[in-house]
């Protein structure tokens, strides 16, 4: 059982109430890392990918880590959804020229996916906040790795996963991401217990070595450069 499930959470303020988004208005793109359970900030499996994308974009990109619990405790994921929505909505006002890349791993992939979805389709009860249309429009690339709500039938998937097996917490709906599905890639490797229910823990950490980060780097860089 994934203990971060559940309605309990501590972030109850409305989006924007946490203050500044932390965006750098001098940059054209922002890469936001949403880490997996118990990964330290700045040391996610996604952190090297974010750095590589930023290096390919030269001085145009900012890398940020989402500040959320990323713990096994009940409410962690819901708090992440609240915080990510608040950050992106504030960013759309404070840095209106900035385009966004979202990188989510494990619990972080679930946070990203639920933030992009309507409140009534999310796995956990949160505050029901939603991204503004402007914030949604600024998102140019979404990359999910080992998503517990992986849908094997989704059109935006990549990997050697079993197409008959969904994530450990059940599949997302085909329409959950709306128009952002066209800017999304969800990576799942064979037997990853998070995105392949009944799998193993070892494959869940294999994204750093199985070539999928390379694919993710190209996907994000190409999409960001197309906006320059």
Domain boundaries, the chain: 29-225
Tens digits of per-residue pLDDT, 184-198? 999 999 999 999 999
In SS3 terms, 129-147 reads as: CCCCHHHHHHEEEEEEECC
Neighbours of 67 (CB within 10 A): 14
pLDDT band (50, 70, 90) for residue 126: confident
Q: Please report the pLDDT score of residue 11 as a whole number.
A: 53
For the chain, count helices (H), then strands (E). 5, 6
Percent of residues, the chain, with pLDDT higher than 70 = 91
Average pLDDT over all residues of the chain? 92
pLDDT, residue 1, reads: 41
At 227, the pLDDT band (50, 70, 90 cuts) reads very high
The pLDDT assigned to 193 comes to: 97
pLDDT of residue 4: 61
What is the model's pTM? 0.94
29-225 CATH fold: Rossmann fold (3.40.50)
In this prediction, residue 189 carries a pLDDT of 98
Tell me if 177 sits within 8 A of 117, measured CB to CB. yes
Residue 7 has pLDDT above 70, yes or no: no
Q: Does the structure show a pLDDT above 70 at 54?
A: yes
């Amino acid at each position: 059982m994934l203990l971060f499930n559940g309605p309990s959470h501590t972030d109850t303020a409305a989006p924007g109430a946490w203050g500044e988004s932390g965006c750098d208005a001098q940059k054209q793109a922002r890469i936001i890392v949403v880490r997996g359970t118990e990964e330290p900030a700045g040391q996610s499996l996604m952190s090297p990918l974010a750095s590589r994308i930023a290096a390919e974009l030269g001085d145009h990109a900012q890398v940020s880590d989402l500040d959320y619990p990323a713990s096994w405790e009940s409410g962690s994921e819901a708090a992440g959804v609240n915080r990510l929505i608040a950050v992106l909505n504030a960013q759309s006002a404070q840095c209106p020229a900035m385009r966004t890349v979202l990188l989510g791993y494990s619990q972080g992939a679930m946070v990203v996916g639920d933030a992009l979805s309507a409140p009534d389709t999310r796995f956990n009860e949160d505050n029901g906040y939603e991204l503004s249309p402007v914030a949604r429009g600024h998102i140019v690339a979404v990359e999910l790795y080992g998503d517990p709500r992986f849908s094997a039938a989704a059109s935006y998937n990549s990997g050697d996963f079993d197409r008959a097996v969904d994530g450990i917490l059940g599949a997302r709906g085909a329409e959950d991401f709306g128009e952002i599905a066209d800017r999304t890639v969800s990576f799942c490797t064979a037997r990853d217990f998070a995105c392949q229910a009944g799998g193993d823990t070892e494959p869940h950490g294999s994204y750093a070595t199985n070539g999928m980060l390379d694919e993710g780097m190209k996907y994000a860089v190409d999409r960001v450069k197309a906006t320059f």
